Amino acid sequence: MSSTAEHIDLTKVQFTPELLASIPRAIARHYRALPVRVSPTSLCVALAGVNAVETIDRLTIILRRPLEFQIAEPSQLDHFLLRFYGDGTKDRYEFLVG
């Protein structure tokens, strides 16, 4: 992602269950990555910054699909990640009781 990546206002995105399911909860929370648009050819993901080369590389490998990226305000991104994916407590509980 370059410094010319588009910024996105997450309050204008229509989040659907299908869109949110395109990135598993644990992956979204770990990488602070929120799906914002899906098409037949790619998935657009909001990240907090443009200097996330390692994150971009890993997400591309993990999600096994072409990705596009946009920049979200960090506080807004964290708000929506918490809203849609929770605080991770359930993930930790499921891991412990397996």
> Do the domain assignments include residue 1?
no
Tell me which residue range forms the domain holding 35.
7-97
> Do the domain assignments include residue 86?
yes
We report the CATH number of the domain holding residue 35 as: 3.30.300.160
Q: Residue 73: CA atoms inside 13 Å, Cβ hemisphere, count? A: 8
Query: For residue 19, what are the contacts with CB-CB under 8 A and spacing of at least 6?
Result: 35, 36, 37, 38
d(CA 28, CA 40) in angstroms, rounded, equals 20
Task: Show pLDDT as tens, one digit a residue, over the chain (98 residues).
Answer: 444 678 999 999 999 999 999 999 999 999 999 999 999 999 999 998 766 788 888 999 999 999 999 999 999 999 999 999 887 666 544 444 44
Residue 88: φ, ψ to 5°: 90, -5
* Total domains, the chain: 1
pTM: 0.80
> Do the domain assignments include residue 2?
no
